[in-house]
Amino acid sequence: MARPTDWKPLADSDPVPGDPRQIRDEVEHMKKVAKKLRDQADRLGKIAKKEGLKGKYSETLTDGAGELAKKLDQAAGRYETVKTHLSGWADDLQGAQTSAKAALDLAKDDEEQAKKDLKKAKESYDNAADHHAGLIEKAIDDDALTDSWWDNVKDWVDKNAGWLKVVIEVASYVATALAIAAIFVSGIGIGVVLAAGIAVLVARVGMAAAGQGSWADVALDVFALATMGLGRGAVSGLKAGQAATRLAAAQGAKKAATSTAKNGMREVYGQAGRTLAAKGAKRGARRSARETIENANKLADQAGDGAEMMARKAPLPKVSKMDVIKAGGDKDAAVAYKDIVRTRAAYAEHAGVHAASEGSEAMLRLNQQVFLSGQGIDLGGKALGSSDTVTDKPYFEPFQDYKNEYTAEVGSTW
């Protein structure tokens, strides 16, 4: 709030800036403006409530009337608040003027005291001006009409919406292309696809919040990412099943190889056992028989360990592009499921292998379903909707109208 810099006591007839009468005139003007704003807000409020409003255009007239009434009411509040502080300043300024005039009158008799009184009057004027200017500035900064940081962000988005929409749409197509390419190119991991999808989602949320995008597009992106997350859960389930199946197969292979080795050395065990059982067997013969049995056990254990190692380190099966597509677009899922099926067939009579692989088909079906639904929604939305990049792209009008219904900005103060 500016005030005169070259302050001096004023006569009642001096109509210059800082004159209390001018400030009070401004207060009266603000009072009238505030009343007019309140009256208009009241009329708009009635329109918003459809009071006495009929006809085919009533819906159109009521749209936004309530919000505009609220804004006019806020504007009136600002005028009334500032008016109150200005009125206080006018009173303080009048007091300073009176003190200054008294000091000038005193100067004829006591010039020294007059200077002191004049100094006090000027200090009173300065303090009052600073105080009321601070109150007015605070009132303006704190009321609902002042732009917030989010209002400034939305203003920037509004001004740059054209190229932002193009960039986001191109990024969305890139994310879709990466998701499809990941099926055929092993170097593209799920992390890259997820990062691209999340970046597009964040950008779309920002645009929708600023009123420059549809929340329906945000919902579609959320669905796509959610299905991707479910798919990762299904793949993890398949890989866990694969690990459990391989472990059960390795344990089965060890047990079978150990048993086979011992069966192959049955005669050795039998002869050593008979020596140990003979009552007249000499001490050396008994010792030799025990060593024979220990060595046979070691050989059988080595055979079992070797079989277990071979089962654990069995090469993973190779999968075709069609296998990847059938497994829900994920190579890891395709490899895991094919390995489970192969291991299950190799140990068809091993109950542990079958128990460990239980649920693999369910995980595979889940991954297939989320892949098809996620890709279907994503590609379908792109095919049916309009384009900010290719303006003459054909689109399904009811679908686009539906998306447009969910366009609404967030947190506007004006």
Domain boundaries, the chain: 20-146, 154-228
CA–chain centroid gap for 303, Å, is: 56
Separation of alpha carbons 338 and 242, rounded Å: 9
Below-50 pLDDT ranges, the chain: 1-17, 56-57, 413-414
Distance CA 375, CA 369 (A): 10
For the whole prediction, is pTM greater than 0.95? Answer: no
User: What pLDDT, on a 0 to 100 scale, did the predictor assign at position 78?
Assistant: 64
- pLDDT on residue 145: 56
226-242 pLDDT per residue, tens: 888 888 899 999 999 99
Q: Identify the pLDDT of residue 17.
A: 41
Q: With 0-12 CB in 10 A as exposed, 13-18 as middle and 19+ as buried, what is 197?
A: buried
Q: Give the per-residue pLDDT at 12.
A: 42
Residue 383's Cα: distance from chain center in Å? 25
Residue 177 tokens read as 């292309």
